[in-house]
Structure 1
Amino acid sequence: MTKQVETTSEVIEVCLLAGKIMLQSGGETYRVEDTMMRIAAAFGIENTHSYVTPTGIIFSAESSGPTRTKLIRISERSTDLKKVAMVNSISRSISSGEVNLKGAWQQLKEIDSLVVTFPLRIQVAAASLASGCFMIMFKGVWNDFIPAMIAGGVGYYSFVHFHRFVPVKFFSEFLASFVIGLLSFLFVWMGVGQQLDKIIIGSVMTLVPGLLLTNAIRDLMAGHLVSGLSKGAEAFLTAFAIGTGIAVVLSFL
């Protein structure tokens, strides 16, 4: 009995670690629940229940012994789809019997501590290039390509920089959009840029919560109403912060 309880507890720990990594990395709620249930089933625990929200995971497993339930708190969330793919790969290896319980735990711990994001300079360069391309996509003129690149790159760098010192998500996005609006206005005022609205729109696109909004809709369609509404509210507040930063700049024109 004691061995069975210990095994069940270890399986729960593996499932929760997999779910935690996926949820922190931008995975959908239904995908997190499905992955945890599949991992538990692969280790012989068929009767499991999970409740996942953007800020926490409750997982319960019923075996021949007493029912075991554990809760973990999710305090930070980001976008790292490579980690989600890596956890999915481990889940498939567990289901096929290629990885045992101990090996799965070790691999998941390595993924949890792994930093797979690109260096900041590459992120800023990508944001800068994307800003210019978005500006063109919204029917801007090529003369505004460089101003949009500069405003978008500086704005994204400001977002990352402000978030390190002020760990309030919406405040850092407000300041970043304010910087973008100010730079865009200065470019047009100096005659370097021509269309202020197109430069601003293209530059703020790197701050828009696209993945968050997509996950909110997918969770709602999958029946996870609490997670879908909470993610939708977070996306709305993020968009509101971006719009407010731009509005503050335009109000002084």
Structure 2
Amino acid sequence: MAEKGRLVDLCLFAGKLMVTYGAETYRAEDIMNRMAVAGGLKNVHSFVTTTGIFLSGIQDNGDNLMQMIRIVDRFQDLNKVAEVNQLSRDFVLGRINEQEANEQLIKISAARMNYPLWLIYIASGVAGGAFSYLVGNTKFDMIPAAMGGLMSTLFLVLFQHYLHAKFFSEYLASFFGSIIALALLHSGYGSNVDQVIIGTIIPLVPGIPLTNSVRDLMNGDFISGLGRGAEAALTALSIAAGVATAVSLFLP
């Protein structure tokens, strides 16, 4: 009983990491099912939502096992998703045992992001400036767009660390990023407000939740799909509210 209980804990841990760092619902369920079957459970069933994971199975002696785990935080780190996916393959193929798999999952969970924050900030600035140019900006207008995109990401990381309020942090990040971009425009750096604002907020767009929402809905996982869709919609609303507040302060 205790041995199979540890197996279920391992499967739930893997599923939690998958969902937490941006994997689709069906992918998390598939990994959990395969690991549980490889560990000796029968009649395995898993149910994954964006806020909780359930896993059940039958032991060799006929006893039922069912556990769940709560998901509180959600981030975007597809490298960790790939690492957990590879770990599950190694476990299913017998390359690693249960203890080794658990130790590796702990390392994956505790590992820092592959890219330093300063590089993420620079990439956000480049993305903001480049995207604003693609939608019709001039090269001169790329400066406030790039600075706004960089500062939006910087403020988002800062506010999420200290406030622990996702949507309010996104509102504040878009507000302060837009304020900086509009201040540069007001100082004479550029003239196209619309394109500069687009470049400022593009690093904040919830691309992964929106994509996963569509994929979950197409796969028939309506609870997770609607949940992720609601998260993406609220994120977009928070960003729009921040921009609207900034624009109302700067423009008549």
Aligned position for 1:48 = 44
Distance in 2 between the 1:76 and 1:209 partners? 15
Unaligned 5+ residue runs, structure 1?
none
Question: More displaced, 228-237 or 179-188?
Answer: 179-188
Deviations 1:84-128 (A, max 9, x none): 100110111112221112221111121122113422211111111
Q: Does residue 23 in structure 1 map to residue 26 in structure 2?
A: no
Question: More displaced, 69-78 or 58-67?
Answer: 58-67
2:101 aligned residue (77, 99, 104): 104
Q: Does structure 1 retain, via aligned residues, the 8 Å contact 2:33–2:44?
A: yes
**TM value normalised by structure 2:** 0.95
Q: Does residue 69 in structure 1 map to residue 63 in structure 2?
A: no
Q: Does structure 2 retain, via aligned residues, the 8 Å contact 1:8–1:61?
A: no
1:13 aligned residue (9, 27, 34): 9
* Matching residue's letter, 2:50: P
* Alpha-carbon distance, 1:6 to partner: 2.2
Instruction: Please give the secondary structure, in 2, of the residue aligned with 1:58.
Output: strand
Deviations 1:39-81 (A, max 9, x none): 1111222311111111111111112231111111111110011
Deviations 1:205-233 (A, max 9, x none): 10000000000010111111000001100
Q: Does residue 198 in structure 1 map to residue 195 in structure 2?
A: yes
**TM value normalised by structure 1:** 0.95
Distance in 2 between the 1:60 and 1:117 partners? 34
* Matching residue's letter, 1:168: A
Distance in 2 between the 1:116 and 1:150 partners? 23
Q: Does residue 185 in structure 1 map to residue 170 in structure 2?
A: no
Question: More displaced, 94-103 or 219-228?
Answer: 94-103
Runs of 4+ aligned structure 1 residues displaced above 3 Å come to none
Matches within 5 A, 1:63-142: 63-65=59-61, 66-142=63-139
* Matching residue's letter, 2:3: T
Unaligned 5+ residue runs, structure 2?
none
* Alpha-carbon distance, 1:251 to partner: 2.3
* Alpha-carbon distance, 1:7 to partner: 2.3
Deviations 1:164-197 (A, max 9, x none): 2211111111111111221222122111111111
RMSD: 1.2
Aligned position for 1:158 = 155
Aligned position for 1:57 = 53
Q: Does structure 1 retain, via aligned residues, the 8 Å contact 2:143–2:189?
A: no
* Alpha-carbon distance, 1:141 to partner: 0.8
Sequence identity percentage: 41
Distance in 1 between the 2:85 and 2:227 partners? 24
